[in-house]
Structure 1
Amino acid sequence: MQLIGLHHVSLLTGKAERNFEFYTKILGLRLIKKTVNQDNTQSYHLFYGDAKGNPGTEITFFDIPGLGRTHPGVSSISSTSLRVKTTDSLHFWKQRLADFGISSEEITKRAGRDTLAFQDFEGTRLILVGDNGEAGIAANEPWVIEGIPTEHAILGLGPVTLTVSTADPTIKIITDVMGFRKVGSYPSLTGDFPDVLVFATGEGGTGAELHIETRPDLPKERLGRGGVHHVAFRIPNEDEYEQWFTKIKQTRLPNSGKVDRYYFKALYFREPNGILFELSTDTPGFDVDEPLETLGERLALPPFLEPKRSEIEANLRPLEI
């Protein structure tokens, strides 16, 4: 029983229309599901991913108009990476971002890989990372749009960075409970702080890593627009999901119990530093209620919400995307 890698990362946006433009028109991701927050059906939930909506490619956003900005700090998921094929792709993206008026940092080594850091219009901290033929969990099928050559398209999620005041409690959970293993470290890029520690699961590589940054100087994060709500990890099937449920229950960590999101089964829990983790099944997938060819083109509701479609649509603000 082993987690495969990253499943999705979920963030907050205050402007879904601009969010859609940024992630589809600039970054070239596919909108694979336009649905609602199942815990608050007056809020949209947008999923972006690769051409087929494969697990390990999704970056998702809850739409909360008027939401205040994020105040960065500890107990946070402080950056989200997106995989590209090579360092040449990073040079392409640096120019493309500049063409859209988006500033980026210089190409920098993180965990021995070339990376390019930038932010979206709400301050979401994003990092492009070049695979450069590295072994590990396989990349997926990119969604290619005009202006982005296939060889430079985004392939899926890369390493996620956790920023904490004290690393040991988080490390204990991800290693002893979740089965991650330490695979390296690299110097902090933000000053005289401890090295960033690198942990991997499954086959490892860019799609299966957590990076842990220790920053005792920072206050606790105040989450708002552009911030990361939670990170989810891949469970291959429902049989192993049942085993993970039993295992997490035995740890006595605060958790959600079993949650059926229809597109996947989920289990949420908070590690000791307060960061929200989710374990999600690969099955059944995002094409369970829509043809692959038309993913994301209509408001999709799981069967348990479908009887309330008229009420839900009436309480949703119009969203033209």
Structure 2
Amino acid sequence: MVEATRWGREVNGIGRREAEESEGALCGDDVWNGIGESARRPADAPQRTGSGGGAASEVTPEEGEGWRGTGFTRWDAIGEAHWNSSPGCDLNDQIEQLQQAVSDEVCAPELLPFAERLVADVQAVLQYQQQQLGQVHADTANGIVSAIGDRLAQHLQRQDCMRVRYALRNYYRVRLWKAQRHATHYLRESQSDPRCLSPLEEAFLRRYQRNMVHHLNESFLKHVPEPLRRLDDVERNQSGHGTELNMVTAPDLDEYVVARFVHPCELDLAATGQSLPQAFPFRQGDVFCLRYRFVRDALLRGDVELI
């Protein structure tokens, strides 16, 4: 019974004594990360000074610039975890942005510009958390025994890292699936718009296209006449005068998507053939089913989310 009570004190929160220590630690060199594990603040991290019973003051964006993106967290006196409030350092916001980026990619018929900055920030946070877990594992191997509550918190942190990695892989998986459907088209687009593909995605598509051409040649193209072996031909006037049939397919921008407006904006819907004004106003929070080409620019500006 005594052991169960002691174990319960260690697991449920950080305990009364540890809460008092953590309250004072907010003003010193130690901070608490999101799982309750005490970690040493980086040497270049800005110092916090407490006021009125040890409450920590907020770090300004200028002060937090040196350690932005490290994923460092702190614990307040009651033990609730939250990320540093400086812009660009809130992992919760980054995860929401990553989830929305996945949703936009799944719903949009075309490949959206690669979210390079967002992916880099999430990868930096994951790398930092992995280093923290590796340090804890090394301490355990050297005979430094962690409390039961710390080991439980480390396990929860590993699970959170796995969830974030899954979301990041899902983002890459959806983009590669869409890129393979129109590989030649996106390789052409990447020459005029470098934002369309990341360097790794472009290298992957070039290898994919080369392997596909080799496979088709070995399968049947080598048995057909030379003029018919091209994979990027444009046949004109096949379905009537003034028509053309392009072998390089492009995404259908007239597909319907469900768009949620996060900012008020106006869209030009005159091309729909309906009796609508040229600039149709949309309010924040409106949800409409529209053709993708009408919300494309608003999506790239960040005024619209696809759901």
Query: How would you bin the TM-score normalised by the shorter chain?
Result: under 0.3
Length-normalised TM-score, structure 2 = 0.20
Q: Which has the higher contact order (CA 8 A, sep 6+)?
A: 1
Give the TM-score of the pair, scaled to structure 1: 0.20
Q: Which has the higher helix share?
A: 2
Tell me which protein shows more strand as a share of its residues. Answer: 1
